[in-house]
Structure 1
Amino acid sequence: MAQEVRGVVAPGKNEPVRLETILVPDPGPGEAVVKVQACGVCHTDLHYKQGGINDDFPFLLGHEASGVVESVGEGVTDVAPGDFVVLNWRAVCGSCRACLRGRPQYCFNTHNARQKMTLKDGTELSPALGIGAFADKTLVAAGQCTKVDPGVAPAVAGLLGCGVMAGIGAAINTGGVGRGDAVAVIGCGGVGDAAVVGARLAGAAKIIAVDIDDRKLETARTMGATHTVNSRTTDPVEAVRELTGGFGADVVIDAVGRPETYRQAFYARDLAGTVVLVGVPTPEMTLELPLLDVFGRGGALKSSWYGDCLPSRDFPMLIDLHQQGRIDLGAFVTETIGIDEVERAFDRMHAGDVLRSVVVL
């Protein structure tokens, strides 16, 4: 029997979000109902609200979440009621060409719950990234549930569901940052600061944080940046080159996702260096680069999708590192808020006042 719970819904493009009663069905085969304990307010949710992802309104927002499995459907064996989990949007299929080649982090057939959550009048909801976790409970594919140590605070654990994992993975998994490397990170919001943390964890010798906001640059320093560049007043390409002996960084991570920041990343890297795009562009954006420069500079231009993570491998590892004191995931939590404060959290995000607001249920 479907359960009535509260959920944050984006009814239409750029319209204020609303707290609505939603219906969560019992889990079907391969599905699970999760009682949400915490969910971060991610910039991707704002993209959904603004119509920057697609126009499948109304959206049930929220995806950066942790909680406890309440019930599971037929055939589910990997998780059970009572398990503490982080929700992920990469439920690997195990049978596509990437999975069969031993590269499940690139799974081409990730899946979500088959059933739809709805409003009380029957209107079907589109859950953000197949999760929809600004809600007391949500229905997901069981493969979207990754078990982690229940000793970690839910507000901290949930951040691995998107932004923190995307940034750390962009540095380690996609960028392949190694010991002694010089790394530049353009854009020091939650994802960019996580990339700084990932670069430090990987042993980078020099980590250059680039942003237009001195407050964000100071936060990046607390996360491990060795140098900062305010690109509002300083040419970031020239600054990165100056800080790297005139050569450029070994790895440059664009955590903004705009054509101008991508061009900065492209020219701020050393010859044969790597550019990693982890910031999310909007559909109308295009990029133009001289093809001769692409050829002549060599190296690699990569896109990082979810930090190229494998949740079953990476989430528990990062929780362990947090509990060992080797990384401080709690530093990303600026504030905890109620489920009725998501619209205000979007305003604070847009103003650059927070790394993460986290809804605690």
Structure 2
Amino acid sequence: MPEIQAAVCTAFNEKLTIETLHLRDPGPDEIEVTLDAVAICHSDIHFAEGAWGGALPAVYGHEAAGRVTGLGARVSGLEPGTRVVVTLIKSCGTCQSCSTGRPALCEATGAAPTKLTRPDGTDVAAAMHCGAFAERVVVDRSQVVALPDALPPESVALLACGVITGIGAVVNAGRLRPGEDVVVIGAGGVGLNAIQGARIAGARRIVAVDMTEEKLETAKAFGATHGVLATEGKPWRHALRALGRGADLVAVTVGATKAYDDAPRYLGWGGRMVMVGMPETGATASYEPVIPAFMGQHFIGSKMGDVVISRDIPWMADLYAQGRLKLDELVSGRWRLDQINEAIDDTRRGGARRNVIVFDGAA
């Protein structure tokens, strides 16, 4: 059982601690990946704050890239040394959701046998099927996609969550058609990718809504045609003025109930609201149901952008290689594992797009 360094959450709302843990060998249908990079997603932070519960001690991290260093029984199609993206999307391939092309909603993803233990034998949870705030992970074969070596690992890692979630929310869940108008609420890591997805899919106009001028300027660099400050009184009025009509699609990419309360106000006749951001458990939003009923509007939940990773991640990697998808520009900072608390604090302050932990030897 190899020893690895990992950032462990021992209590909610406390600093992570760097510990030496034991990682078990891969079992049937599993692989071991030695990581080159793992990004810090707001979901990791929310879990570490206790927003959605979960067992402790735990290792978070689910947006990673690395190289295959171990293969369990029955694994095919991968070789040691292959560069892979590591996602949290674990799928059985046979349940109703998987067999109808929705593996992100797999109904049979039970917990794997314990992967991580402390030297004294205490179990440590590998959260979100990953536990990637660590030097190595053991994950199910279904969670990874092989990609070319030429792609930089810190950019490749972003394809595991934020990029696929944002683009997929617009393209897969929202079914955006060329020429439609889009509003994206939130211009963080997921929101910028929703904007990119709208641009790639041929949106006519894209309005970004966020709290700061700085983020709105960044949103325009990623493809937004207009920016609206969420701090303005009734910001939807500014968006409707910019579009001249209600939006065909509104993507809510932040986990704030206020955003969900306001989002329907941006919609036009027959518009779709795609719900991406995840508020804390128990938080509620409100709306007047007669309006979407009368106007034929749709509210759509989107988990991980409704992606099929074996289809969508290679497509997005090709877009990046062709210069049509910005990944390098999403990386705000590069940090060591022992700096993870500083990187998390920087992310909490709201200015970072994606902070990435880069491991020694990454290439």
What TM-score does the superposition give when structure 2 sets the normalisation length? 0.95
1:83 & 1:226 partners in 2: Cα distance? 39
- Residue 125 of structure 1 aligns to a residue in which SS? strand
Once the 2 structures are TM-superposed, how far is the Cα of residue 342 of structure 1 from its aligned partner? 1.3
Partner of 1:114, secondary structure, is coil
Alpha-carbon separation, structure 2, partners of 1:101 and 1:175: 18
CA shift for structure 1 position 105: 4.7
Per the alignment, residue 126 of structure 1 pairs with 125
Residue of structure 1 equivalent to 2:4: 5
Quick check: 1:302 aligned with 2:289? Answer: no
> Which residue number corresponds to residue 52 of structure 2?
53
Contact 1:276-1:302 within 8 A present in 2 as well: yes
Provide the rounded CA distance (Å) in 2 between the counterparts of 1:111 and 1:221: 41
C-alpha distance in 1 between matches for 2:179 and 2:353: 28
Instruction: Tell me the number of residue pairs that the alignment of Structure 1 and Structure 2 aligns.
Output: 359
Relative to 1, partners in 2 of residues 1:111 and 1:76: Cα closer, same or farther, differing over 3 Å?
Answer: farther
What is the CA-CA distance between 1:234 and the residue it aligns to?
A: 3.9
Q: How many Å separate the matches in 2 of 1:326 and 1:359?
A: 25
Deviation of the 1:277 alpha carbon: 0.8
1:128 is displaced (CA, Å) by 2.6
Provide the residue aligned with 1:258 in structure 2. 256
Shift of 1:111: 5.5
Structure 1, gaps ≥5 residues long: none
Closer/same/farther in 2, CA of residues 303 and 187 from structure 1, 3 Å limit: same
**In 2 relative to 1, CA 116–86 (structure 1 residues): closer, same or farther, beyond 3 Å?**
same
**Partner in structure 1 of residue 320 of structure 2:** 322
Note if contact 1:207-1:224 (Cα within 8 Å) is conserved in structure 2: yes
| Cα distance, 1:49–1:173 mapped onto 2, change above 3 Å | same
Check whether the contact 1:112–1:141 (CA below 8 A) recurs between aligned residues: no
The answer as to whether partners of 1:257 and 1:277 remain within 8 angstroms in 2 is: no
Contact 1:4/1:23, CA 8 A, preserved across alignment? yes
Q: Which moved more, 1:91-100 or 1:160-169?
A: 91-100
Query: For the structure 1 residues 101 and 284, does the alpha-carbon distance in structure 2 shift closer, same or farther, using more than 3 Å as the test?
Result: closer
TM-superposed CA distance for 1:118, in Å, is: 1.5
Corresponding residue number in structure 1 for 2:196: 197
In 1, Cα distance between equivalents of 2:101 and 2:221: 37
2:123 counterpart SS class: coil
CA distance in 1, matches of 2:237, 2:163: 28
Letter in 2 for 1:207: I
How do residues 9-48 of structure 1 correspond to structure 2 at under 5 angstroms? Answer: 9-48=8-47
CA distance in 1, matches of 2:275, 2:221: 23
The one of 337, 341, 345 equivalent to 1:347 is: 345
For 1:316 and 1:282, locate their aligned partners in 2 and report how far apart those are by CA, in whole Å.
32
Structure 1 position 177, deviation (Å): 1.5
Q: Which amino acid aligns with 2:221?
A: T
Determine the structure 2 residue equivalent to 1:238.
237
Q: Distance in 1 between matches of 2:292 and 2:27?
A: 49
8 Å CA contact 1:112–1:140 kept in 2: the answer is no
Match of 2:88 in 1: 89
The answer to whether the 8 Å contact 1:181/1:250 transfers is: yes
Moved over 4 A (4+): none
Q: For residues 38 and 31 of structure 1, do their structure 2 counterparts lie closer, same or farther at Cα, with a shift above 3 Å needed?
A: same
Q: Which residue of 2 aligns with 1:332?
A: 330
CA shift for structure 1 position 108: 2.3
The code of the aligned residue for 1:56 comes to A
Question: How much has 1:280 moved relative to structure 2?
Answer: 1.3
Deviation at 1:102, TM superposition (A): 4.2
For residues 115 and 149 of structure 1, what CA distance do their matches in structure 2 show?
Answer: 31
Q: CA deviation at 1:283?
A: 0.3
CA distance in 2, matches of 1:177, 1:233: 27
For 2:228, the equivalent position in structure 1 comes to: 229
C-alpha displacement of 1:252 = 0.4
Report Cα offsets for 1:11-30 as digits up to 9, x if no partner: 11101111111111111111
Can you give the 5+ residue segments of structure 2 that lack an aligned partner in the other structure? none
Map Cα deviations across residues 257-302 of structure 1 (whole Å, 9 max, x no partner). 2221012211111111000111111102012222222312222101
Counterpart in the other structure of 1:275 = 273
Structure 2 CA distance for aligned equivalents of residues 101 and 161 of structure 1:
22
Q: Indicate conservation of the 8 Å contact 1:209/1:227, yes or no.
A: yes
Is this contact kept in 2: 1:335–1:356, CA < 8 A? yes
Conserved? CA contact 1:79–1:145, under 8 Å: no
| Shift in Å, 1:107 | 2.7
Match of 1:248 in 2: 246
Counterpart residue number, 2:146: 147
